[in-house]
């Protein structure tokens, strides 16, 4: 195993609030679980950022030589609308509005989710289990928790007894909340009179007559509570104790707090060693929300079809933009920021392509080994991608001065530089080299076809037929092909 031993990997653990040296439970192997999407609508751009953050982590752990089992679930059983224990099931609501089966909703948005993440060049997880595929296991773990005395049945529903659990365990240790601060508002209280205490949460809910997604259980025809599926699917595929659990910052409470409680109640063991939380994405300095119009869909970035954007950007540029911030910081999305990222991304790729043209010398004025170490130091410091990217730009400077003949590099250093740039740009950051992507036979045919369309578009423009020229450009964009007009004619790039 080719583990890089230059420095230990440090991970910020939300549980301790500190960076800790990472030690896997089984040497060389890592079990990682990330909460996946609830598939009742198009995937949100903020969620894409979370999944890109964990894709970076997955890629780097693999790059270090670890064997990683990455499990990310699909929530297809539907949460209740207000994320508490009352309200309408989100998937069922969408099914009612669109007059289709709930599983059609699930299918439609699961495909959308996969398509978008593939565009961003995210690697698929090792296992992608669904909540509805694990109802039997969820019922079994509820039985165990009842048996251990940490849950009770009331009117066909089963609730987790938070106060009882807290007598012997520490409920709130992940989110840093105190029990008395966790009482929901009184309006919700009235609707949840079955509970012994307002802090209790549902493990099983009895279905109302109109509720479509339901399963038989020892307590009632109903459906599992929101938090249970992740406990069940993580422990099934990664064991009762595993290394890394991730998700968006907003899931820390109550979702992840409840996961810890369920796991400890069922097995007596702390389920997760390192909790990791990715921060949110804002748009023009404000929270994204469909209701205020301060919102952007991932596909709108690619087409530019959104009032917040002046043009479309390739998925690699959008991905690069997200990785220019640390996953734990809030990141603000804007047209200007994307334009700057596009420039930076092109500078990086241009310099990378220049490497093939550099002539080696007898001596090196660029210390490649020391630079490479700094790249690893950045990533070993809690996956600090912005620092890594700053190091890659240091290399860009060097490459350009070598090209200008103002400094030198030896043949072995040049090889090392090329390999390290490629490793970090493509394997770790997951960016796509657009020039490489069309460098095969099909690619040649494709670029010939696009050149033909560029010619037809130029003719249409010369004839002032702007309807046709715009149509060609827009249709190409929707296929992921960007045209850029410049002094020397039009060039194209692929997403």
**Nearer of residues 35 and 203 to Zn ion, judged by Cβ:** 35
Return all residues near 195 (Cβ < 8 A) that are at least 6 apart.
154, 159
CB of 372 to Zn ion, least distance (A): 37
Q: Which is nearer to Zn ion, 245 or 457 (CB)?
A: 245
User: Where are the strands (E) in 157-287, listed by range?
Assistant: 157-160, 201-206, 222-224, 242-248, 272-278, 281-283, 286-287
Residue 304, C-beta contacts closer than 8 angstroms, at least 6 positions apart = 310, 311, 312, 313, 477
In this chain, which stretch among 141-149, 205-213, 225-233, 474-482 interacts with Zn ion, using CB under 5 A?
A: 225-233
- Nearest distance from residue 229's CB to Zn ion, in Å? 7
Which range binds Zn ion by CB under 5 A, 33-41, 59-67, 200-208, 464-472? 33-41
- Closest CB to Zn ion among residues 35, 414: 35
> Residues 51, 8, 270, 327: what is their CA dihedral angle, to the nearest 10 degrees?
-20
First to last CA, the chain: 34
Best CA proximity match to 308, nearest among 325, 285, 330: 285
Distances (CA, A) of 223 to 128, 219, 437: 20, 10, 46
**Cβ 247 to Zn ion, closest distance in Å?**
6
Question: Candidates 8-16, 160-168, 196-204, 230-238 — which segment interacts with Zn ion by CB under 5 A?
Answer: 230-238
Give min distance, CB of 35 to Zn ion, in A: 3
> Residue 13 in 3-state DSSP?
strand
Q: How far is the CB of 386 from Zn ion (least distance, A)?
A: 27
Q: Which is nearer to Zn ion, 194 or 257 (CB)?
A: 257
Segment interacting with Zn ion (CB under 5 A) among 35-43, 76-84, 212-220, 232-240 = 35-43
Of the candidates 310, 312, 308, the residue with the CA atom closest to the CA atom of residue 292: 308
Q: Which is nearer to Zn ion, 35 or 417 (CB)?
A: 35
* Diameter over CA atoms, the chain: 82
1-38 as b/e, with b when 16 or more CB fall inside 10 Å? eeeeeeeebbbbbbbeeeebebebeeeeebbbbbbbbb
Total residues contacting Zn ion by CB under 5 A comes to 2
Nearer to Zn ion by Cβ, of 142 and 395: the residue is 142
Which of 27-35, 160-168, 178-186, 417-425 is the region at the interface with Zn ion (rule: CB under 5 A)? 27-35
Strand partners, 278: 248
- Of the residues 11, 35, 80, 92, which one makes contact with Zn ion according to CB under 5 A: 35
CB 374 to Zn ion: min, Å: 36
Least distance to Zn ion, CB of residue 345, Å = 32
Q: Which tokens belong to 125?
A: 């997880």
Nearer to Zn ion among residue 235 and residue 482 (C-beta): 235
* Residue 428 binding Zn ion, by CB under 5 A: no
Q: Cα(159)–Cα(202) distance, rounded to whole angstroms?
A: 4
Exactly one of 174, 230, 283, 396 binds Zn ion (CB under 5 A); which one? 230
The smaller minimum CB distance to Zn ion, of residues 230 and 409, is found at 230
CA 105 to chain centre: 21
Residues binding Zn ion (CB under 5 A): 35, 230
């Amino acid at each position: 195993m080719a583990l890089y031993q230059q420095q230990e990997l440090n991970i910020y653990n939300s549980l301790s609030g500190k960076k800790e040296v990472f030690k896997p439970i089984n040497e060389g192997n890592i079990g990682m679980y990330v909460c996946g999407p609830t598939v009742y609508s198009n995937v949100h751009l903020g969620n894409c950022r979370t999944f890109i953050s964990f894709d970076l982590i997955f890629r780097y752990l693999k790059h270090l030589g670890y064997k990683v089992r990455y499990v990310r679930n699909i929530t297809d059983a539907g949460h209740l609308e207000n994320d508490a224990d009352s309200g309408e099931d989100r998937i069922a609501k969408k099914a009612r509005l669109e007059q289709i089966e709930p599983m059609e909703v699930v299918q439609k948005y699961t495909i959308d989710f996969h398509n978008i993440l593939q565009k961003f060049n995210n690697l698929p997880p090792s296992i992608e289990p669904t909540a509805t595929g694990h109802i039997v296991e969820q019922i079994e773990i509820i039985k165990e928790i009842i048996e251990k005395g940490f849950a009770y049945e009331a009117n066909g529903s089963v609730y987790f007894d938070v106060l009882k659990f807290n007598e012997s365990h520490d409920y709130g240790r992940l989110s840093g909340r105190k029990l008395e601060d966790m009482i929901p508002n009184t309006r919700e209280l009235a609707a949840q009179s079955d509970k012994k205490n307002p802090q209790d949460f549902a493990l099983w809910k009895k279905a109302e007559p109109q509720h479509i997604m339901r399963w038989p259980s020892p307590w009632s025809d109903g459906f599992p509570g929101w938090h249970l599926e992740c406990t069940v699917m993580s422990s099934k595929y990664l064991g009762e104790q595993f290394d890394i659990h991730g998700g968006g910052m907003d899931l820390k409470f109550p979702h992840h707090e409840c996961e810890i409680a369920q796991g400890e109640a069922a097995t007596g063991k702390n389920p997760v060693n390192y909790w990791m939380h990715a921060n949110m994405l804002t748009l023009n300095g404000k929270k994204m929300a469909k209701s205020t119009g301060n919102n952007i869909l991932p596909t709108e970035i690619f087409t530019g079809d959104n009032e917040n954007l002046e043009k479309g950007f390739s998925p690699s540029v959008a991905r690069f933009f997200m990785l220019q911030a640390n996953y734990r910081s809030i990141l603000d999305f804007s047209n200007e920021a994307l334009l700057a990222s596009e420039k930076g991304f092109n500078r990086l790729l241009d310099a990378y392509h220049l490497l093939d043209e550099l002539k080696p010398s007898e001596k090196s004025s660029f210390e490649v080994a020391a630079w490479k170490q700094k790249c690893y130091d950045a990533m070993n410091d809690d996956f600090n991608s912005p620092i890594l990217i700053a190091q890659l730009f240091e290399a860009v400077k060097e490459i350009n001065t070598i090209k200008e003949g103002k400094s030198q590099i030896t043949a072995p250093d040049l090889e090392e530089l090329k390999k390290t740039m490629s490793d970090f740009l493509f394997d770790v950051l997951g960016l796509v080299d657009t020039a490489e992507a069309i460098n095969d036979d099909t690619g040649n045919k494709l670029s010939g076809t696009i050149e033909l369309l560029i010619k037809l578009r130029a003719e249409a423009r010369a004839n002032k037929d702007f309807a046709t020229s715009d149509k060609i450009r827009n249709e190409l964009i929707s296929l992921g092909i960007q045209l850029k007009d410049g002094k020397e004619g039009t060039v194209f790039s692929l997403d």
